[in-house]
A and B are shown apart, each in its own frame.
Chain A
Amino acid sequence: MAKVLVCGWDTQADGLAPGVEETLTLGRKLAAALGAELGLVVLGSAPPDAARVAGRHGASTLETLADPKLAAGGSDARVEALAQLCQAHAPRALLMPQTFDARLVAPRVAGRLGVPIVMNGIDVDVENGALRVTATAYGGDTHALYEIAGDGTALVCVSTTALRAEPAPEPRTPVVEEFPVDLRTVTERIRVLEPAKTEGPRLEEANTIVAGGRGLGAAEHFAWIEQLAEALGGMAGASRPLVDDGWVDASRQVGLTGRITRPALYIAVGISGASQHMAGCSAAKTIVAINRDADAAIFRHARYGIVGDCHEILPELIRAARAHRAGGS
């Protein structure tokens, strides 16, 4: 039976990485359209709930690829492991959430196997037997429909923020097996001299984000963004120009090429709402826009808006937020 595989790895100790369930949802749609079987693949040892999650989304198999070389996180091992998996199963499609690492590993696997790849996927379908992938382009200003020729394996990286995970109508109990990967010949060519070290919480996990843009006017005004974020118990983010100009650290950048966030509340201050920025925050449950230009694109994404000068509004908003906090409600 033809296979559709979903692969994840940035596994956290307590569960599967964000985006895996949304990707499984797309995978299930594709498997149904192809009359194929859906499987979940986890590089490294699977977290305890992986089988349950796989089953809930209709996967009939859960495969783990365990090798100490995979645990180290190097891309040479991951590329070789996924290449071996694809060669063994010849899946019709291998889908993965588009994480930072996937952006490198997926196209390398495609290169190694000489198979087609599409990034930024938001939908998949089958037409006359051919795979079709809808992806964003121009930061999201447009959507593009790609058709993939042939019936070999295709790789799709899925941009999961705008997607909703929907469990299968009928859960299954997946067969859990270990895929016998052979990484004896792999020696990572790239040596990590200084590993990245996360300092403090990450924007990706923030429940509330207050983000500032070029409309702040001056670097010192970013302090307002931080104060408002603090008053709301959230984190401060920024649009790219603030990072480009060195006002804030790159870890603050929200957007297509920055952090892809999914907070409950996103307050955008002095941000125009360019597609590349919205790609990193449009999945927020509630977006608030503060901008002096009533025609700014951000208002089209926002639930609430204040048209006005952020220099006047921010101090008032900080006051009101602090009062709410002090009220303890």
Chain B
Amino acid sequence: MRIVVCVKEVLDPDAVNSFAVAGRLTIGEDGTSLTQSAIPRLMNGYDEQALEAALRLRDAGASGTIAVVSIGADPANILRHAAALGADEITHVAADPADRADRAGLDGHATAALLVAWIRSTGGADLVLCGRQASDDDQGVVPALIGEQLGVPVVTIARALALEAGGDAVRVTRVTPDGDEVVLAPLPAVVTISSELGTPRYPTAARKLQARRAKPAVVTLDALGVAAAAGAPRVRLLRQWVPALHGHCELLAGAPAEAADALVARLIQDGAI
């Protein structure tokens, strides 16, 4: 069994939120990228949970390898983190999704094409695990595009998964607006993981130390033979900005009982209750 986990490096969304709340989130001269160099870069939260899902499958008895792959400018840190957590292989596909220069930027299709080319070049995958969406662009399209390009089923927003006894199918619990749904997908398949999977494990100190020396295998676009396909993104980010928020909040002061009564009075007056 070969499990591939796709991980993306993103700006820490909590830090981005903090900058936004403080009114200090700004866009650089290129008009597209966030300028805050103080914001740490880390593994997309859902991708960390996708890796956790893979590790849980292994804990549950799945044999084989867990291969973690990332396309990015320099995702060595998050790949080392994956190694410390127990990934057997870590691979860096050298292309920068955030590079806005016309030829190098990647849209969802190009990202998926590179991941698929890499997966094929390594003998394929029985299970591809992704995050439900990347917390920077929030698009959530790459996994479905991978699935279509590979011609395999896609199951989204999983909170739990288990391999069937024969190893030829995966049982997935999905978080739907109508509650949990349990489905059976034949392998190979793509599954996206949601936060409901639960908190991912931490690496032990010893493994962290060990992983510090781990070097991701670096794969170039030329080696994948897809340079041309990845060259011209059809969805191109032209501009990014921080939307203005004009609040007009009326604060209700006084002791708790007073404030509560005042609020209820306002809501009655407005016809809200």
Interface positions of A (Cβ within 8 A of B): 75-76, 100, 103-104, 107-108, 110-112, 114, 116-120, 132, 135-150, 189-199, 202, 204, 208, 232, 240, 243-244, 250-251, 256-257, 259, 264-265, 272-276, 285-286, 288-289, 294-297, 299-309, 312-313, 315-317, 319-321, 323-324, 329
**Extra pairs beyond A144-B237, A146-B236, A274-B17 (11, CB < 8 Å):** A104-B156, A107-B145, A110-B144, A111-B144, A119-B138, A147-B238, A193-B183, A193-B184, A302-B247, A319-B257, A320-B261
What is the number of contacts between chain A and chain B, taking CB atoms within 8 Å? 249
Question: What distance in Å separates the Cβ of A4 from its nearest Cβ neighbour in chain B?
Answer: 18
Interface string of B171-193 (1 = CB under 8 A from A): 10011111111111110000000
Q: Is B80 in contact with chain A by the CB < 8 A criterion?
A: no
Cβ-based interface call for B71 (8 A): no
Q: Using Cβ atoms and an 8 Å threshold, which residues of chain A touch B108?
A: 107, 110, 117
- Within the complex, which residue of A75, A142, A146, A198 is in contact with B179, where a contact is CB–CB below 8 Å? A198
A-B contact pairs, 27 of them (CB 8 A): A103-B156, A111-B112, A111-B149, A112-B148, A116-B235, A119-B139, A119-B140, A141-B16, A142-B34, A143-B242, A149-B232, A149-B235, A191-B184, A194-B180, A194-B181, A196-B176, A250-B175, A251-B177, A257-B132, A273-B21, A285-B272, A297-B21, A303-B249, A305-B249, A307-B251, A313-B259, A324-B264
> Are A100 and B185 interface neighbours, CB within 8 A?
no
CB neighbors of A among B147-201 (8 A): 147-149, 153-157, 159, 171, 174-186, 194-196, 198-199
- State the CA gap A301–B263 with chains docked (Å): 16
Residue ranges of B at the interface with A (Cβ–Cβ < 8 Å) = 13, 16-17, 20-21, 25, 27, 34, 107-109, 112, 132-133, 135-141, 143-149, 153-157, 159, 171, 174-186, 194-196, 198-199, 232-243, 245, 247-252, 256-257, 259-261, 263-264, 266-268, 270, 272-273
**Contact, CB under 8 Å: A301 / B245:** yes
Chain A residue nearest to B148 (CB atoms) is A111
Other-chain residue from B132, B159, B185, B256 in contact with A316 (beta carbon distance below 8 A) = B256
- Of the residues B139, B179, B264, contact of A199 by C-beta under 8 Å: B179
Please give the distance in Å from A94's CB to the nearest CB on chain B: 14
Pair B16/A198 contact, Cβ less than 8 Å: no
Residue of A nearest to B171 (CB): A193
| Contact across chains for A189 and B185 when beta carbons are under 8 A apart | yes
Nearest CB in chain A: distance from B85 CB, A: 19
User: Are A306 and B235 within 8 A (Cβ)?
Assistant: no
B-chain residues with CB within 8 Å of residue A273 when the two chains form the complex: 21
A89 CB to closest chain B CB (Å) equals: 20
Shortest CB–CB separation between residue A163 and chain B, in angstroms? 14
Question: Would you call A300 and B148 a contact (CB within 8 A)?
Answer: no
> Is A303 a contact partner of B248 (Cβ separation < 8 A)?
yes
Q: Are B141 and A197 in contact (CB under 8 A)?
A: no
**B175 partner residues in chain A, CB cutoff 8 A:** 250
Q: Which residues of B contact A149 (CB under 8 A)?
A: 232-236
Q: A108-B147, A148-B234 are in contact. Are A316 and B243 (CB under 8 A)?
A: no
| B137 engages A150 (CB within 8 Å) | no
- Nearest residue (CB) in A for B146 is A111
- Give the chain B neighbours of A294 by CB distance below 8 A: 251
User: Residue among A119, A137, A294 with the most chain B CB within 10 A?
Assistant: A137
Whether A316 contacts B144 in the complex (CB less than 8 A), given A141-B16, A190-B153, comes out as no
Least Cβ distance of B158 to chain A in Å? 12
B141→A117 contact, CB < 8 A = yes
Nearest Cβ on chain B to A255's Cβ, whole angstroms: 10
Q: By the criterion CB–CB under 8 Å, are B240 and A143 in contact? A: yes
- Is there contact, CB below 8 Å, between A100 and B179? no
Which residues from chain A contact B171 at a C-beta distance below 8 Å? 193
B250 touches A305 (CB 8 A): yes
Determine if B194 and A189 form an interchain contact, defined as CB atoms under 8 angstroms apart: no
Question: How far is it, in angstroms, between the C-alpha of A317 and the C-alpha of B132 when the chains are bound?
Answer: 38
When the two chains form their complex, are residues B178 and A197 in contact, meaning their CB atoms are under 8 A apart? yes
- Are A275 and B249 interface neighbours, CB within 8 A? no
Q: Which residues of B contact A232 (CB under 8 A)?
A: 273
Distance (Å) between the CB of B46 and the closest chain A CB?
9
Contact B249 A299 (CB under 8 A): yes
Q: Which residues on the B side are within 8 Å of A257 (C-beta)?
A: 132-133, 194-195
A108 touches B177 (CB 8 A): no
Return chain B residues, CB-CB under 8 Å to A195.
181
Residues of A within 8 A of B25 (CB): 141-142
Q: Which chain A residue shows the least CB distance to B239? A: A145
Assembled-state Cα–Cα distance A112/B148 (Å): 6
* Nearest CB on B from A318, distance (A): 8
- List residues of chain A with CB within 8 A of the CB of B232: 149
Determine if B184 and A190 form an interchain contact, defined as CB atoms under 8 angstroms apart: yes
**Contact across chains for A321 and B252 when beta carbons are under 8 A apart:** no
Q: Is the CB of A304 within 8 A of B182?
A: no
CB-based contact B179/A286 at 8 Å:
no
- Complex Cα gap A136–B109 (Å): 19
Cβ contacts under 8 Å, B109 to chain A: 110-111, 114, 116
Q: What separation, in Å, do the CA atoms of A284 and B149 have in the docked complex? A: 40
Give the CA-CA distance A77 to B16 in the complex, in Å.
39
User: B249 and A138: CB pair below 8 A?
Assistant: no
- Whether B272 lies near A116 (C-beta < 8 A) is no
Closest to B153 in A: A189
Q: B181 contacts A313, CB within 8 Å?
A: no
Contact across chains for A138 and B235 when beta carbons are under 8 A apart: no
Pairwise interchain contact B136-A138, C-beta atoms closer than 8 A = yes
| Contact indicator A144/B179 (Cβ below 8 Å) | no
Contacts of B238 in A (CB 8 A): 132, 145-147
